[in-house]
Chains A and B, each alone.
Chain A
Amino acid sequence: MKKNLKIKICGLRRVEDIEIVNKYKPDYVGFVFAESKRQINFKQAKILRNKLDKDILAVGVFVDSNIEDIASLIEDNVIDIVQLHGDEDEDFISELKKVSDDIKIIKAIEIKNNEINQDTNVNEINVKKWENSSADYLLLDNGKGTGETFNWKLIGKIKKPFFLAGGINSENIEEAYKFKPFAVDLSSSIEENGFKSSKKIAEIMKNLNEIKTKNAVNMNRGEDKSMNNGRYGIYGGQYIPEILMNELLKLENQYNFYKNDPKFKKELQTLLNKYAGRPSLLYFAENMTKDLKGAKIYLKREDLNHTGSHKINNVLGQVLLAKKMGKTRVIAETGAGQHGVATATAATFLNMECEIFMGEEDIKRQALNVYRMELLKAKVNPVNSGTKTLKDAVNETMREWSKRVHDTHYVLGSVMGPHPFPMIVRDFQSVISQEIKEQLFKLESKLPSAVVACVGGGSNAIGSFYHFINEKEVELIGCEAGGVGVDSKYHAASITKGEVGIFHGMKSYFCQGNYGQIAPVYSISAGLDYPGIGPEHAHLNDTKRAEYVPITDDEAVYAFEYLAKQEGIICAIESAHAIAHTIKMAEKMKKNDIIVVCLSGRGDKDVESIKNYKIAKNSYNN
């Protein structure tokens, strides 16, 4: 996968030049210390560096200077990178590397056009020689900053990342891009009357962005094929207004890049370990196991994560990704408020603006979570359209996103919505099954017989299933919200009772009424109160790799109390659906069978509504 093309603007010498680059933010700027019309002295460089935006790296350009001079510039933090344009050799580079561990070196190579037809290609020999040097990058130019292009066809395959320099302008930059440089070096083409021109820089940056987007799209379509167009069987897809399409393509492209980027992976891992508290416990529920006299039961304690649910896994990944993509604001839908709280947490921690959309009904049911989000600096927008629950919150967040894609990322909370969301969210949640597998192997040296999780959109379930999908002997069971009962109108069991449809950007199963209107759904659990299910679950259901069962409110409330009494764990009412099914199945299984239940969240938020539910139920029964 090709990295995003970087930009270097070379030959800055006035404070005005710095003001211009601070506005357009190239990745690098160059200060020329060698003899040239753009030459500056150390003192000038220091002044310029102090005014330079902190995100831009400064490159010092030298021709056969002495090491001491270069070292003093590095030590004074005037330059971050050294570009060598003279006859410096490998020893010189090695010496320079000793000055600072962080210093990066660019070795410039002159490429001569007239060498093309000779048997021995001098250019090639030159490049080969420096490819194995300790320089970090090469820079290909036709001379020492002549402003002329050389024949780029001479470039060939180069192992080291390289800067392409010499005569690159807004007309030929698209062509230059095709030769896959690490960065392009711009200087004379962006000058007017001998000085850097804001207008010309603006123009070339705009062109470059267009080229990048275009290439991102092309690259995307190529990648889609290997992953079947973002589809799981017939499910999934991108059924979304045109206004959001480019943003989705960009998101997919950026995600595919960052998921393999060692730096991103490390940052995310650190957040998960040091901030969210991963790995989460795999807890042996001994009392429950004894009481049910069947399979051994383990609980994957996602409720112990920071913010109290599995939602943080996805949110940290997405907010970090959004930040890398240059977004400054995140928006999200929430049902029970767990995803909203997690998003608000990640946003405030990573210094992003945050707005949450939540149905008015859910705001009433989950008042405590509303306050938690506000406490975390998020703005909570009540949604009063439609059924005023999760589905409508998703609608409203999509509408908001279509108003502001340029600076805003939509942190979708489940494995649903248009591609690439089901894939991204699944990947970030798959840490759950990865840990289960490792932890259980340490404890029991075997795979579980079954993995059980509750399913609304299905993110904790797919996270718990993912690394077991190819382990055919592991039974995978998703527990849907059966509400009052699946034969009533009051449930949210999309697979048990729904039909195939196309909604919220995806083809999947949905609870729908006549003529394809999306049906109002019901569950005691605000987090499962959604009329659809993620497309990968629809596919796992159709291929019979996973089984989906409905659990009623009554069963869930019973399980909620049961777990509290047996294990001293108050779980979320969502997760209680998975516990309820575990109670049913454990009794019928052998003692050496193992069930792992994903305890997706903690239940503080539900205590009050369950108390009210019981009061209402009792007064009805009396």
Chain B
Amino acid sequence: MSEITKVFRNEKVFIGFLTAGDPSKEKTVEYILAMEKAGADIIEIGIPFSDPIAEGSVIQDANTRALSNGVNTDEIFDLVKELRKESKIPLSFLTYLNPVFFYGYEKFFKRCYEVGINGIIIPDLPYEEKGEISDFAKRYDVDMISLIAPTSKERIKMIARDATGFIYLVSSMGVTGVRSQIKTDLKEIINEIKKVTDIPVAVGFGINTPEQSKEIAKIADGVIVGSAIVKIIEKHGYNSKKYIEEYVREMKNAIKI
């Protein structure tokens, strides 16, 4: 069982996201540690990309801020290395395929292994194109996190059978971003998934309130929160630590059984 999957054994899991380099590399380390302290179980670290087509405006803007701060892939590996001196929880990257392709698949995954990255989420890499990186991910012990969407229908089982780490279930149509309500029949999709795999299922896209998390945690193994955290960083910049900590604690408490 991978480090990521293990986390789901005992309790409902809270997965937090932020974009590396927003507002600075140092603050990224500080904020991740703050989330960990507040009870986050897994952190997704966004490697910024110029054209994040699956993101709503909040995370798009974070990507733009991070890139204009000049952060790059090498520096993000260094940042994770630094972070690993204290951080104990599984860490996953979230990025688009081109930065990984450009860096070189072999080199990229080798670096992941060296600095202690446990998983990777690539929104523009669907099941059919997984072969691009699957050998490298496997060789260097990095879980490829698969996404399942409300439109996946008969693709659900095919994707779920091959999934590693956890399954990222996209809650709604569209792109990332805070939503007031989630209308998809998630329970039905989760049931489909559970028919073919024991890999845990975490739900993301739009989740931002403790109430929503609580509801989702009743049917899923975990919740993923991105835009809501990035919004805090957008608002408080260099002074976001205590707000992030408070928010993550509240969200984690909401999903405790």
- Interface residues of chain A, those whose CB is within 8 Å of chain B, are 210, 213-214, 217, 229, 237-247, 385-386, 391-392, 395, 398-399, 402-405, 499, 501-505, 510, 512, 514-518
Which residues of chain B are near A385, meaning CB under 8 Å?
Answer: 57, 60, 64
**Contact: B155 with A245, CB < 8 Å?**
yes
Given A247-B151, A402-B54, A405-B173, are A242 and B159 also a contact pair (CB < 8 Å)? yes
CB of B51 within 8 Å of the partner chain: yes
Complex Cα gap A214–B159 (Å): 14
| Interface positions of B from 120 to 146, Cβ below 8 Å from A | 123-129, 132, 146
* Shortest beta-carbon distance from A231 to chain B in Å: 11
Q: Do A241 and B128 form a contact, CB below 8 Å, given A246-B152, A502-B101?
A: no
CB <8 Å contact, B175 and A403:
yes
Bound together, the chains give a CA A247 to CA B100 distance in angstroms of 26
Q: Given A239-B126, A245-B126, A501-B102, answer yes or no on A213-B153 (Cβ-Cβ < 8 Å).
A: yes
- Provide the residues of chain A in CB contact with B51, threshold 8 Å: 386, 391-392, 395, 503-504, 518
Q: Are B103 and A405 in contact (CB under 8 A)?
A: no
Q: Are A243 and B150 in contact (CB under 8 A)?
A: yes
Provide the residues of chain A in CB contact with B170, threshold 8 Å. Answer: 242-243
7 smallest beta-carbon distances between A and B, as pairs: A516-B102, A403-B174, A243-B149, A516-B99, A517-B50, A516-B98, A518-B50
Interchain nearest-CB distance for B90 vs A (Å): 22
Note all chain B residues with C-beta closer than 8 A to A404: 173
Structural contact, A516 and B103, CB atoms closer than 8 A: yes
Chain A min CB distance to B27 (Å): 20
When C-beta atoms are compared, the residue in chain B nearest to A216 turns out to be B154
Docked complex Cα distance between A398 and B103 (Å):
25
The distance in angstroms between the C-alpha atoms of A510 and B127, with both chains bound, is: 23
Name the one of B50, B60, B151, B174 contacting A246, with C-beta atoms under 8 angstroms: B151
Q: B72, A245: Cβ atoms under 8 Å?
A: no
Instruction: Say whether, besides A403-B173, A517-B49, A214 and B154 are in contact (CB < 8 Å).
Output: yes
Find out whether the CB atom of A241 lies under 8 angstroms from the CB atom of B54: yes
Contact with A along B202-215 (1 / 0, CB 8 A): 00000000000000
B155 contacts across to A, CB distance below 8 A: 217, 242, 245-246
- Cβ 8 A contact of A517, one of B99, B151, B152, B159: B99
Task: Mark B72-94 against chain A: 1 for CB-CB distance below 8 A, else 0.
Answer: 11100000000000000000000
Q: CB of B182 within 8 A of chain A?
A: no
User: B124 contacts A386, CB within 8 Å?
Assistant: no
Q: How far is the CA of A213 from the CA of B67 in the complex (A)?
A: 41
Decide if B53 touches A395 in the complex (CB within 8 Å): yes
Which A residues touch B255, using CB under 8 A?
none
- Contact (Cβ within 8 A) B173 A402: yes
* Residues of chain B lying within 8 A (CB to CB) of residue A217: 154-155
Pick the contact of B97 from A239, A392, A518 — CB < 8 Å? A239
Interface CB pairs A-B, < 8 A, 17: A213-B154, A239-B129, A241-B53, A241-B123, A242-B127, A245-B151, A385-B64, A386-B51, A392-B51, A399-B54, A402-B174, A501-B98, A504-B53, A505-B124, A512-B98, A515-B73, A517-B50
Does B147 reach chain A (CB closer than 8 Å)?
yes
B148 adjacent to chain A (CB < 8 Å): yes
Size of the chain B interface, CB-CB below 8 angstroms: 43
With a CB–CB cut-off of 8 A, which chain B residues contact A512? 98, 102
CA distance A24 to B60 in the complex (A): 40
Q: How far is the CA of A223 from the CA of B225 in the complex (A)?
A: 39
From the candidates B101, B125, B150, name the one contacting A501 in the complex (CB within 8 A).
B101
Known: A241-B123, A403-B174. 7 other contacts (CB 8 A): A245-B155, A246-B155, A399-B54, A404-B173, A405-B151, A501-B102, A514-B72
Chain A, Cβ-Cβ closest to B174 = A403
Selected from A238, A402, A502, A503, the residue in CB contact (under 8 A) with B175 is A402
B102 touching A240, Cβ below 8 Å: no
Residue of B53, B54, B73, B124 with most chain A CB atoms under a 10 A cut-off:
B53
The residue on A at minimum CB distance from B148 is: A242
Q: Smallest CB–CB gap between A326 and chain B, Å?
A: 16
The answer to whether B153 and A246 touch across the interface, beta carbons within 8 angstroms, is yes
Q: Are B99 and A240 in contact (CB under 8 A)?
A: no
* Separation of A386 and B53 alpha carbons in the complex (Å): 11
A504: chain B residues at CB < 8 Å are: 51, 53
Give A518 to B146 CA distance when docked, in angstroms: 25
Contact A502 B98 (CB under 8 A): yes
Contacts of B67 in A (CB 8 A): 517
Residue on B with the closest CB to A519? B50
- Whether A502 touches B97, Cβ cut-off 8 Å, given contacts A242-B126, A399-B174, A517-B67, is yes
- Chain A residues contacting B100 (CB-CB under 8 Å) are 516
CB neighbours (8 Å) of B152 from chain A are 242, 245-246
B103 touching A515, Cβ below 8 Å = yes
Closest to A500 in B: B101
* Contact residue among B49, B98, B128, B132 (Cβ-Cβ distance under 8 Å from A245): B128
A551 to B146, CA, bound (A): 43
Given the complex of chains A and B, what is the CA–CA distance between A372 and B72 in angstroms?
42
Q: Chain A nearest CB: distance from B201 CB in Å? A: 14
Docked pose: A503 CA to B152 CA in angstroms: 22
The residue on B at minimum CB distance from A399 is B175
For A403, what are the chain B residues with a Cβ–Cβ distance below 8 Å? 173-175
A214's nearest neighbour on chain B, judged by CB, is B154
Contact B124 A241 (CB under 8 A): yes
- Distance from B14 Cβ to chain A, minimum over Cβ atoms (Å): 23
Contact of B72 among A244, A405, A499, A515 (CB under 8 A): A515
Give CA–CA (A517, B152) in the complex, Å.
29
A326 to B123, CA, bound (A): 28
Identify the interface centre among A238, A501, A503, A505: most chain B CB within 10 Å of its CB: A503
Residue of B nearest to A247 (CB): B151
Known contacts A402-B173, A505-B124; is-contact A237 B129 (Cβ 8 Å): yes
Instruction: Decide if B99 touches A241 in the complex (CB within 8 Å).
Output: no
Within the assembled complex, what's the spacing in Å between the Cα atoms of A245 and B153? 11
User: Bound state CA distance, A384 and B51, in angstroms?
Assistant: 13
The distance in angstroms between the C-alpha atoms of A241 and B128, with both chains bound, is: 11
Residues of A within 8 A of B175 (CB): 399, 402-403
A241 to B147, Cβ gap below 8 A? yes
Q: Which residue of B lies closest to A520 (CB)?
A: B50
Contact B149 A399 (CB under 8 A): no
Contacts of B154 in A (CB 8 A): 210, 213-214, 217
In B21-38, which residues have CB < 8 Å from any A CB? none
Determine if B98 and A238 form an interchain contact, defined as CB atoms under 8 angstroms apart. Answer: no
Shortest Cβ distance from A505 into B: residue: B124
Chain B residues closer than 8 Å to A210, beta-carbon distance: 153-154
CB closest residue in chain A, given B71? A515
Bound CA span A504–B126, Å:
13
Contact B127 A245 (CB under 8 A): yes
What is the distance, in angstroms, from B163's C-beta to the closest C-beta of chain A?
Answer: 12
Name B158's closest neighbour in chain A (CB-CB).
Answer: A217
> In the docked arrangement, what's the CA distance between A313 and B241, Å?
55
A585 to chain B minimum Cβ distance, whole angstroms, is 35
For A246, the chain B residues whose CB sits under 8 A away are 151-153, 155
What chain B residues lie within 8 Å of A514 (beta carbons)? Answer: 72
B182 CB, nearest partner CB in chain A, Å: 14
> Which residue of chain A lies nearest to B56 when distances are taken between CB atoms in the complex?
A399
Per the bound structure, the CA–CA distance linking A214 and B156 in Å amounts to 12
Q: Output the least CB separation between B78 and chain A (Å).
A: 14
Q: Which residues of A contact B150 (CB under 8 A)?
A: 243
Please give the distance in Å from B2's CB to the nearest CB on chain A. Answer: 21
